Amino acid sequence: MQPIVLGPNLPETFYRGAGRIARFRGLVPAGEPRPEDWIASTTSRFGASEGQHSTAGQTRLADGSLLADAIAADPAGWLGREHVARYGANPALLVKLLDAGQQLPLHVHPDRGYATEHLASPFGKTEAWIVLEADPGADMYLGFSRDVEAAELGRWVRDQDVEAMLAVTNRVPVEAGDSLLCPAGTPHAIGAGILLVELQEPTDWSILLQWRGFPLGPDDATLGLPLEEALACVGRRAMGAERLAGLRGRRLDRAVGSLLPEEADPFFVAERIRSGGRLPAGYSVLVVTEGSGAIVAETGAPVPVGRGSTVLVPYAAGPCALAGDFLAIRCSPAI
């Protein structure tokens, strides 16, 4: 097996992009820009098939086959035996490029306990963001700034009182190079004018606290669950300045090595790597952020990469040399 440079995988999404993904990847835009590129995805878009199995959101390899099917046929080769012993044939990771052409709605992702009980899934959706580009004044909403009662939250959501919800949600300024962890259960919204790499658990579980202003309605908001049951996954305790500071990782332009706080370690790992070194054997996804060069496995030809390349590295590729002059983010599942 060799490292694989992946093409774009842009499932239909309800909010707007602004063309940043195409510019970052050096692609000619085709039609209305979509805001998400699902990289090395074995995860399907929730609700895309009206109850039938759907492959929307899943990555297809160059021969047209699904990555999920390739992994299922040789999980140890793709993922490694230690990974398979823990997660089976699931990569346990989804990586995205996300281009917020508008502010996303306020929403929440369930944690693993809630997902196991209510959604028959071992994975929730803790996620992390590494900001590649940000307009001046860009920000995120992250966590409530005070304790919120269940009845209060339910009333805001039913009435779609978005202003009241955002007024009690922390506004966190961000700029290019920042990294943040968003634990499952945390109310959040990504602000407009941001391009980021997102690491997340491999699900598409989202509970929308806000649908007003988007082509959505209450039936789209709760994963098919009753509203009160859906809102039970929301963390309603105040998230103060100390807690917010603890969710910030190391800056992309100042770090070599791990980018995320230790709290992310049970879910995934993001590392800044540079050419001249070697990748250890292991399933991972690389997003090249600067420069150009090649990834060289122990067997096979060098794989050329450049800014905007997204690369899937199977376990069986073994240790790989990083040749040339480039920087990248290496995204890996927790083992």
Q: What is the pLDDT of residues 112-165, one digit of tens each?
A: 999 999 999 999 999 999 999 999 999 999 999 999 999 999 999 999 999 999
Among residues 215, 246, 277, which one ends one of the domains? 246
How far is the C-alpha of 193 from the C-alpha of 136, rounded, in Å? 8
Question: Considering the domain boundaries, does residue 251 fall inside one?
Answer: no
Among residues 207, 223, 246, which one ends one of the domains? 246
Residue where the block lists tokens 């304790």: 147
Average the pLDDT over 271-293 and give the result: 96
- Same-domain check for residues 145 and 202: yes
Question: Considering the domain boundaries, does residue 252 fall inside one?
Answer: no
Sequence letter at residue 304: P
* Number of compact structural domains in the chain: 2
Q: What percent of the chain has pLDDT over 90?
A: 93
Question: Considering the domain boundaries, does residue 174 fall inside one?
Answer: yes
Q: What is the pLDDT of residue 50?
A: 41
How many other C-beta atoms can be found within 10 angstroms of the C-beta atom of residue 5?
17
pTM: 0.96
Sequence letter at residue 1: M
* Selection from 227, 247, 233, 228 nearest residue 142 by Cα: 247
Spell out the SS3 assignment of the chain: CCCEEECCCCCCCCCCCCCHHHHHHCCCCCCCCCCEEEECCCCCCCCCCCCCCCCCCCCECCCCCEHHHHHHHCHHHHHCHHHHHHHCCCCCCEEEEEEECCCCCCEECCCHHHHHHHCCCCCCCCEEEEEEEECCCCEEEEEECCCCCHHHHHHHHHHCCHHHHHHCEEEEECCCCCEEEECCCCCEEECCCEEEEEEECCCCCCEECCCCCCCCCHHHCCCCCCHHHHHCCCCCCCCCHHHHHHCECCCCCCCCEECCCHHHCCCEEEEEEECCCEECCCCEEEEEEEEEEEEECCCCCCEEEECCCEEEECHHHCCEEEEEEEEEEEEEECC
Q: Provide the CATH number for the domain around residue 28.
A: 2.60.120.10
Average the pLDDT over 230-244 and give the result: 98
Average the pLDDT over 60-78 and give the result: 97
User: Checking DSSP bridges between strand 303-306 and strand 94-100, what pairing results, if any?
Assistant: unpaired
User: Confidence band (pLDDT; 50, 70, 90) for 48?
Assistant: low
| Burial (0-12, 13-18, 19+ Cβ within 10 Å), 77 | middle
| pLDDT of 318 over the 70 cut | yes
- Same-domain check for residues 192 and 105: yes
Residue where the block lists tokens 């407009």: 192
Question: Considering the domain boundaries, does residue 58 fall inside one?
Answer: yes
- Same-domain check for residues 226 and 277: no
- Same-domain check for residues 138 and 64: yes
- Same-domain check for residues 153 and 292: no
Question: Considering the domain boundaries, does residue 212 fall inside one?
Answer: yes
Q: What percent of the chain has pLDDT over 70?
A: 98
Q: What is the pLDDT of residue 53?
A: 58
- Same-domain check for residues 186 and 227: yes
Residue where the block lists tokens 């990748």: 279
- Same-domain check for residues 292 and 267: yes
Question: Considering the domain boundaries, does residue 85 fall inside one?
Answer: yes
- Same-domain check for residues 38 and 103: yes
- Same-domain check for residues 184 and 264: no
- Same-domain check for residues 104 and 214: yes
Contact call for residues 187 and 169 (beta carbons, < 8 A): yes
| pLDDT of 52 over the 50 cut | no
Average the pLDDT over 161-184 and give the result: 98
Among residues 221, 246, 271, which one ends one of the domains? 246
- Same-domain check for residues 101 and 137: yes
Residue where the block lists tokens 């992994």: 71
Rounded to the nearest 10 degrees, how much is the dihedral formed by the CA atoms of 221, 187, 202, 11?
50
Domain coverage including residue 172: 4-246
Question: Considering the domain boundaries, does residue 48 fall inside one?
Answer: yes
- Same-domain check for residues 224 and 276: no
| Maximal CA-CA distance, the chain | 61
How far is the C-alpha of 147 from the C-alpha of 125, rounded, in Å? 22
Lowest-pLDDT range of 35-39, 104-108, 207-211, 256-260: 256-260
